[in-house]
Amino acid sequence: MANSPQSKKRARQNERRAAVNKSRRSRIRTFIRKVEEAIASGDGEAASQALRQAQPELMRGVTKGVYHKNTASRKMSRLSARVKAIG
């Protein structure tokens, strides 16, 4: 348990940051899920549109420290390959 005032404040800050990061991660997952659903339905136009909307969200997650840059790049690469395979 935090004892010093500094460690108590740090615990409060960590709680707030965790909540913000959780909502950001959830938002990104929603965008990715929309791409997955469009791919599953076989609709190439909807899939590419969803991918274009998901990309800036993923990269924003990188700049905010939610995801590592390589993780986001890997996710984008795999999604775009699957969208491209639909044709």
Average pLDDT, the chain: 95
Average pLDDT over residues 14-41: 96
Count Cα neighbours of 40 within 13 Å in the Cβ-side half-sphere: 6
- Statement: residue 2 has pLDDT above 80: no
Residue 66 main-chain phi, psi, to 5 deg: -80, -40
Over residues 28-57, the mean pLDDT reads: 96
Whole-model pTM: value is: 0.86
H helices of 1-68, where? 5-41, 44-63
Percent of the chain with pLDDT over 90: 94
Give the CATH number for residue 20.
1.20.58.110
Range of the domain at 76: 5-86
- The pLDDT value given to residue 31: 97
The answer to whether residue 1 scores a pLDDT higher than 80 is no
Q: How many domains does the chain have?
A: 1
